[in-house]
Amino acid sequence: MITITLVIVAITCIVSFLSFSNEKMMEELIFYSPAITRDNQWYRFITSGFIHADIQHLAFNMFTLYFFGKNWESAYNDYLGLDKIWYIVLYLGALIVSQIPSYLKNTNNYHYRSLGASGAVSAIVFSMILLMPWSTLYVFVLPIPAIIYAVLYLGYTIYMSRKGGDSINHDAHLWGAIFGIIFSVVLKPEVVSIFLEAITHPHFGGIE
């Protein structure tokens, strides 16, 4: 069954692979604050989320999106009755919002560039965890509770953000996570009580 998640993963993989060998394409899509400010290329807030630094970066984001995204669609769309358009709004909205702090910080920084779907993926992950914090995610056949994976995911991004040395906007993970939580609570306030109930009653299983 084709889901919105699969479509996003497919598009992201195609665009990312094409940009790996096309420097001009990479430069036109990457998040570059001076180009946004000077040339009004606001589209970069979105397009930068569909390219990645390398295969490892792409695989990490798409693996996470696939498992959490398909369950988001099932939980929020099917169980809670949200229209499917809200998944797209959340994903694209997170790409934009998660980049705003970096944009404000680097408005005239001609040396700063960033790329990757990290902000949007974080939004999906933390939005999903509000509903199913103890769902099981299999990482290299090792079962890990979703909430533990999320903490490790965020910890990795914070570490990489402090370490620096690449063009990945790791700060976007944090802001994407915050946006995902706020977005979900505003749309469906009952997710707060669902999360509080679930977190105090561990029940493993759900994500495969």
Token pair for residue 203? 């029940």
Torsion of CA 140, 141, 145, 150, to 10 degrees: 10
Could you give the domains of the chain?
4-199 (1.20.1540.10)
Q: What is the pLDDT of residues 172-184, one digit of tens each?
A: 888 999 999 999 9
What pLDDT is recorded for position 126? Answer: 92
Query: What is the percent of the chain where pLDDT is above 70?
Result: 93
Mean pLDDT of the chain: 89
Alpha carbons 94 and 150: distance in angstroms, whole number:
17
Q: What is the pLDDT of residues 89-125, one digit of tens each?
A: 999 999 999 999 989 988 989 988 989 998 999 999 8
Q: Is the pLDDT of residue 46 over 90?
A: yes
Backbone angles phi, psi at 151, to 5 degrees: -65, -45
Global pTM reads: 0.87
